[in-house]
Amino acid sequence: MGASLSIFAKPFESLYDGGDREIEPHPMYSIAQAKRNRGHYTEAVAEIRKQLAKFPGDFDGQLMLAAIEAENLNDLEGAAITIQRLCLQPGHGPRNIALA
Picking from 32, 22, 18, the residue whose alpha carbon sits closest to that of residue 69 is: 32
Q: What is the CATH number of domain 27-99?
A: 1.25.40
Using the predicted structure, report yes or no on whether residue 45 has a pLDDT greater than 70. yes
**Average pLDDT value for residue range 73-83:** 98
Percentage of residues of the chain with pLDDT beyond 70: 80
Domain ranges within the chain, ordered by starting residue: 27-99
Torsion of CA 66, 68, 71, 74, to 10 degrees: -90
**Cβ neighbours of residue 92 closer than 8 Å, sequence gap 6 or more:** 57, 59, 86, 100
Q: Does residue 1 carry a pLDDT above 90?
A: no
Check whether 41 has a pLDDT greater than 70. yes
State the average pLDDT over residues 74-92.
Answer: 96
Say what the pLDDT of residue 9 is.
59
pTM of the model: 0.77
Query: What pLDDT, in 10s, does the model give residues 51-76?
Result: 999 999 999 999 999 999 999 999 99
Q: What is the rounded average pLDDT of the residues 1-20?
A: 60
